[in-house]
Structure 1
Amino acid sequence: MGNNDVIVSLDIGTSKVRVIIGEMNNGSLNIIGVGTADSLGMKKGAIIDIDQTVQSIRQAVDHAERMVGITIEDVFVGISGNHIELETSHGVVAVSSEDREIGDVDIDRVIQAAKVIPLPPDREIIDVVPKQFMVDGLSSIHDPRGMIGVRLEVEATIITGAKTIIHNLIRTIEKAGLKIAGFILTPLATSQVALSKDEMNLGVALIDMGEGVTTISVYEQGGLTKLSVLPIGGEYITNDISIGLRTQFDVAEKVKMKFGVASIEEASEEEKFKVTRIGSNVEKEFNQKDIAFIIEPRIREMFQLVLQEIYRMGYTNELPGGYVLTGGVVAMNGILSVAQEEFHSSVRISMPDYIGVRDPSYTSGVGLILYAAKRYKKASNQMKQAVSTTPSKQSARKSKGLSSFERVKNWFSEFI
């Protein structure tokens, strides 16, 4: 990446759409703009209404643009969901240069070789993540550029997704007036913010608890090894509050955000509030401990389901790196102590350490920027065009005549 490169991320969640504008300056990230909007047309992390989702994206984009005074054109988009699958692949090529020095072209070729796997017609390759390179049998190489060798190999994880979901996402973003600089698997992006290298090497579970789904990703030996998505999230808690207090869902959501505590022990009887009950114009008074009695059992159940899924994934022994929590749900007070009791292991909460986004709900969006800056050598050239202040630049880019899908396909082929 060059100096002062602008990268824009788009994180479409079940409850919120978040657009974050980041500026990379000599390897350091500055967050210069943030836009959020209520996420309409989404359920359990999937698009169920394209037009409503388009409206939400436009609102978030407009918010971010007004903050910075620029026009957003290209975005890096997070993609996740239970349609994502991981496959291990192996690629082998002969080093092409006469002096046998391995360069970018050779890495491109070996990545392309790893992509040659049998795929059902309804699936598409989203990303290729190298685990290690091998040069003439020497393994555990992370970057073989500049090395001398005859045979270059790569062990990689191929990330695939359902074509229908990918194409609907492309169409939604295109209708919102944006172009896709690239798709990035959201858990990989989130790990850039949430996890340390030591944790990823030892073995750690990253648990991203959103409004509609909870994503579990396990990292070992420095890379993503397992991924699972559970259809549980913060909306279950809101629904429980709505039923328990006999009030409307949107009122229950506001109560959860303002007064919600995950631990009964940490709740206060002095913190009181009133809500209008369904079928009555009379307000009833409750205190924080009242809703803690509703929230804590649901939170414990969610953590138990997460543990069951991790065991099902094959991790019956304790992960040395423990558990890292992120996502909007974990911003709730008292959740850490409950998680420590349920997991019986080391647990911590992660959030971005940047001004304006110090909240677990922004972890994925900030991670998308860091991942794009770190992993793609051509991100700089692409994202120099991500913002435009003159109509001539915008019209010149549109004259290329490529659809969003073609642009994304070309971007995939440039992966390094």
Structure 2
Amino acid sequence: MARDGFFTGLDIGTSSIKVLVAEFIKGEMNVIGVSNVKSAGVKDGIIIDIDAAADAIKAAIEEAEEKAGMSITKVNVSLPANLLQIEPTQGMIPVPSESKEIKDEDVDSVVRSALTKSVTPEREVISLVPEEFIVDGFQGIRDPRGMMGIRLEMRGMIYTGPSTILHNLRKTVERAGIEVENIVISPLALTKAVLNEGEREFGATVIDMGGGQTTVATMRAQELQFTNTYAEGGDYVTKDISKVLKTSHQIAEALKFNFGSADLSSASPSETVQVEVVGENSPIEVSERYVAEIISARVRHVLDRVKQDLERSRLLDLPGGIVLIGGGAIMPGVVELAQEIFGVAVKLHVPNQVGIRNPMFANVISLVEYVGQLTEVDVLARGAVAGEEKLRHKPIDYKSSNPAPKTRTFAQPQQKPLETFDTPTEDAAFQTEGKPKQKMGDRVRGMFGNLFD
């Protein structure tokens, strides 16, 4: 059952940083503020410049605060699946109280006992998700509190990641003047939020096509079975267009979103566009088909790698098929190309929240939904993990020459309707889906008229 209250999600991507503020009331999530700013200091989903990333996060937080009409003091941060490891774990304790009634402290203790598994110094426990509790041999218990027993056991899944990535993530958010409430593994949140109950049980795969990387997560039997990241995304498509056509990154990006398609059969070989290229005195003509060939080659390369890994893990032919999300999935022809490559059912997931019905927001929406749906037992488990990790690792020194974080206090949210969020690139491409395709000659006038003014 969802917890009532306000929750803020922070998605630090290679291309953009998104912040979403939502209020949960009786299990219903209401989005009250969202922001999307250009990313900095991030490469392939990993922070490489703490100061630059912190400045971008601060800008995104301030924009979200303005739209939500409230101050943000703590955030839930998504963590990419880079070098993520998943292992089963279990713990067992005797119930110490004289009454033998299981309490919060006993849940905390049994989770800590499951954390005694050896973790190498370069890795850190991110999360432990309880699958079931066992009281005196009786299995399948979700919440043992209030029950009587002599022996309490827990079985679950433990998620670990590189300490360096986690350290940099925490330090960057703290330097932006915000407290980290929870670190949430992105693939875990995505599969929980994007897939329905049947897909999570019988099996399905979510492919998040971001700007700097592509993330894949497969869930079956309500458990995360496979996850991987590929250091190729929508930005690589833009770079390919820029390199092949010898044009600027700005023009290549405009070509991708205004004329790009991953489906060669729908691209016209006769429709052309004038493109400014380096070393030429006058623009050259490039056909829509040629641009599609450049785009299709990169998208096919990424999806072929995903297919090989899914086949190797015997997770390709799952009943739930493939679900695409992310800004890279918005491009026309991507769903059709994925259908051809994987040979299974493929669909594009579109969030249903008012004002942000765009697959590029699926990650940050799923993050907030996941945190809001955490049970009391899940919260206890997270608290136990946080306590153990503080004992294992030295505190991070956040002292720097930067000014101290500003003090914020919560204000009563302004009751105003959520503004439709406009993104001039991905949103424009997404909203035109299903409409008659404008001819290339007509479309180019507006684009390049603005571009070269």
Summarize the Cα distance change of 1:263–1:2 in structure 2 as closer, same or farther, 3 Å threshold.
closer
Counterparts of 1:339 and 1:74, CA distance in 2: 38
Return the letter of the residue paired with 1:345.
V
Q: CA deviation at 1:50?
A: 1.3
Summarize the Cα distance change of 1:137–1:259 in structure 2 as closer, same or farther, 3 Å threshold.
farther
Q: CA deviation at 1:189?
A: 1.4
Counterparts of 2:409 and 2:307, CA distance in 1: 43
The structure with the larger Rg is: 2
Q: CA deviation at 1:316?
A: 6.0
Query: 1:5-404 to 2 correspondence within 5 Å?
Result: 5-268=5-268, 273-280=273-280, 282-312=282-312, 314-315=313-314, 318-375=317-374, 377=376, 388-389=410-411
Summarize the Cα distance change of 1:281–1:389 in structure 2 as closer, same or farther, 3 Å threshold.
farther
SS in 1 for 2:257: helix
Summarize the Cα distance change of 1:47–1:3 in structure 2 as closer, same or farther, 3 Å threshold.
closer
Q: CA deviation at 1:93?
A: 2.1
Counterparts of 1:317 and 1:57, CA distance in 2: 37
Contact 1:92 1:114 in 2 (8 A): yes
Q: CA deviation at 1:345?
A: 1.0
SS in 1 for 2:264: coil
Contact 1:135 1:144 in 2 (8 A): yes
SS in 2 for 1:71: coil
Summarize the Cα distance change of 1:199–1:120 in structure 2 as closer, same or farther, 3 Å threshold.
same
**What per-residue deviation string (whole Å, max 9, x for no partner) do you get for residues 354-374 of structure 1?**
012211111110111111111
Q: Note the residue ranges of structure 2 that are not aligned, 5 or more in a row.
A: 384-406, 413-453
SS in 2 for 1:157: strand
Tell me the matched-pair count: 385
State the Cα RMSD in Å. 2.5
Summarize the Cα distance change of 1:220–1:96 in structure 2 as closer, same or farther, 3 Å threshold.
farther
Summarize the Cα distance change of 1:349–1:388 in structure 2 as closer, same or farther, 3 Å threshold.
same
Return the letter of the residue paired with 1:333.
P
SS in 1 for 2:373: helix
Summarize the Cα distance change of 1:281–1:130 in structure 2 as closer, same or farther, 3 Å threshold.
farther
SS in 1 for 2:182: strand
Q: Note the residue ranges of structure 1 that are not aligned, 5 or more in a row.
A: 391-416
**What per-residue deviation string (whole Å, max 9, x for no partner) do you get for residues 175-204 of structure 1?**
111111111111111123211121111122
Summarize the Cα distance change of 1:56–1:99 in structure 2 as closer, same or farther, 3 Å threshold.
same
Summarize the Cα distance change of 1:192–1:281 in structure 2 as closer, same or farther, 3 Å threshold.
farther
Residue matched to 2:447: none
Q: Identical aligned pairs, as a percentage?
A: 37
**What per-residue deviation string (whole Å, max 9, x for no partner) do you get for residues 249-278 of structure 1?**
232122212322111123356875443212
**What per-residue deviation string (whole Å, max 9, x for no partner) do you get for residues 22-75 of structure 1?**
111111011111111111111111111112111211221122122122221100
SS in 1 for 2:354: coil
Residue matched to 2:391: none
Greater Cα offset, 207-216 or 90-99 = 90-99
